[in-house]
Structure 1
């Protein structure tokens, strides 16, 4: 699948200004940061016909790992969902849509893990991507990794909508 961008399929956030740095509220609490680690609210519209569910990924391609860093992976988001409230990525809030599943990120746990690039690095990019899927749910094992999710997204994505935000301490 080519996973094309579809005009009118748009992902935005009322909490993230893509020109300014990501706010402290959304920054990770760890790795030398004292952020609040609250996932930002997200909104979308214009999914293509045939969409049966959504998946969300947030990836830092600038992390010094050789493969980037997965900050949030949520799959099986019901097709009737058009927004995630602030805190939906924080498991203890219960704000994720019913039926959605959060996958363990590179922090080793499911749910939102906010920005936390190495101190002194230039600001890193955080790519928020919403995938419109042609299946109602991805059939993933309990211990699925972001890479396995990505493999499944490759074969089931009808279209993608994304934006990039930045955060760094330099």
Structure 2
């Protein structure tokens, strides 16, 4: 019995180590820190510049053929969170996005955010609602293209990504007004 337990521990450690290698970083936003107003939405009572932050990822898992990026606020007072950005079919050669990235120029597909506009939609929590978390996630995918178009819901993309991703890396920044 001890041999089986040790084998399970070793297998679990190997899985954990590979998961921790894939990393998402940014020159613009930091883990657990409040984002600058540059990344606030322009509309819905918010007056930011509504540009996406610079993002970079490293230690890409073997077998990655494309990426997806999502930005999600689980603290939005909707009962279902708020999708700020969903983009997929990002070529595997891309490992950096500049601030205000043009996803179409990369050949990627972007969905409408929950604001109803295509592309990145910055932070805009209700005034006085407290600090919100903004989860920027890059997903390593085993296919070059998802068999989805820009009319699919963010929930379907989220389901698809969770069902097939090789790995994901997340950076969570915060924002309040």
**TM-score under structure 1 length normalisation:** 0.89
Tell me which residue corresponds to 1:138: 146
Q: State yes or no: 1:113 paired with 2:121.
A: yes
Structure 2 CA distance for aligned equivalents of residues 143 and 60 of structure 1:
21
Structure 1 106/15 Cα, relative in aligned 2: closer, same or farther at 3 Å?
A: same
Gaps of 5+ in 2: 1-15
Gap change, CA 1:53 and 1:166, over 3 Å in 2 = same
- The match for 1:91 is none
Q: Quote the offset at 1:17 in angstroms.
A: 2.6
- C-alpha deviation, 1:109, in angstroms: 1.9
Distance 1:20 1:64, change over 3 A: same
Aligned partner (choices 16, 33, 37) of residue 46 of structure 2: 33
Contact kept, 8 Å, 2:24 with 2:55, in 1: the verdict is: yes
CA deviation map 1:63-112 (0-9, x unaligned): 00001000001100000001011001xxxxx4655221111111112211
Q: CA RMSD in A?
A: 1.7
Confirm or deny: 8 A CA contact 2:87 2:103 kept in the other structure.
Answer: no
Instruction: Note if contact 1:81-1:97 (Cα within 8 Å) is conserved in structure 2.
Output: no
1:153 — aligned with what?
Answer: 161
Number of matched pairs: 162
Match of 1:57 in 2: 70
Residues 143-152 or 71-80, more deviating: 143-152
Which stretches in structure 1 are left out of the alignment for 5+ residues?
Answer: 89-93
**Are 2:95 and 1:82 equivalent residues in the alignment?**
yes
Shift of residue 142, structure 1, vs aligned partner:
3.7
Change (3 A) 1:95 1:149: closer
Per-residue Cα deviation, 1:133-153 (whole angstroms, up to 9, x for no partner): 011111113411101111211
The structure whose residues are more often helix, as a share, is 2
Per the normalisation by structure 2, the TM-score is 0.86
